[in-house]
Amino acid sequence: MTTHSIYTLSDASGIRYIGVTSVALEQRLKDHLRERSSKNYHKWNWINKYRTDIKIQLLFGNLTEQNAYQQEIKLIAEYKANGCKLVNQSTGGEHAALGTKRSEETRKKLRELRLGKTMSEETKRKISESCKGKTGNQGNLGKKRSAETKAKIAKALTGNTHGFKLGNKAAAKLVALTANCVVLNEVE
């Protein structure tokens, strides 16, 4: 059974984000730093501005998925009430419904909503045409880059560490934080 953890992201001003993860904290921090865009532009802009100063801290570990999402909702509300300027766009718990069994009545209502709704032949054809030659998210699968293109990409990426060096433990230092968003001390 996969266990989940609740973590915070912070900068020098204090805690700025609360989240749930089932992967190692170091990996989750790297995932946040690698994000190129997000539906949460506020969080994305904050990460891009402070990426070298962002710290991650474990609040709770070894939780079930449902308990983790319930606790996340409570923590986000509590931290916002205490004046933390969180970049969380939502109140948390987005994935809490995963694996939930729907009642027979709910399933019947959803089925009735979809009944009788069909796509036109033109819409089906357009979707079919747009998907031809694609395999999932790998739109460039099987396409070869020219030597010139490869050289341009290599030149553009030379020296680019995206704000951190992979394997750099400083990027994943844990910090001890209080509920009122103040950084007390760093933990090695």
pLDDT digits (tens, 9 = 90+) for 147-182: 998 888 888 877 655 543 333 343 333 333 333 444
**In angstroms, rounded to a whole number, what is the distance separating the alpha carbons of residues 154 and 135?**
26
The pTM of this model reads: 0.53
95 CB burial (10 A radius; 0-12, 13-18, 19+): middle
Over residues 15-74, the pLDDT tens digits come to: 999 999 999 999 999 888 887 666 778 888 898 888 888 999 999 989 988 889 889 999
Sheet bearing 4-11, strands edge to edge: 14-21, 4-11, 55-63
H-assigned helices in the chain: 25-34, 41-50, 65-81, 104-114, 121-131, 147-157
**In angstroms, rounded to a whole number, what is the distance separating the alpha carbons of residues 116 and 72?**
40
Over residues 97-129, the pLDDT tens digits come to: 555 677 899 889 988 888 888 889 999 999 888
pLDDT at 5: 92
pLDDT at 138 over 80: no
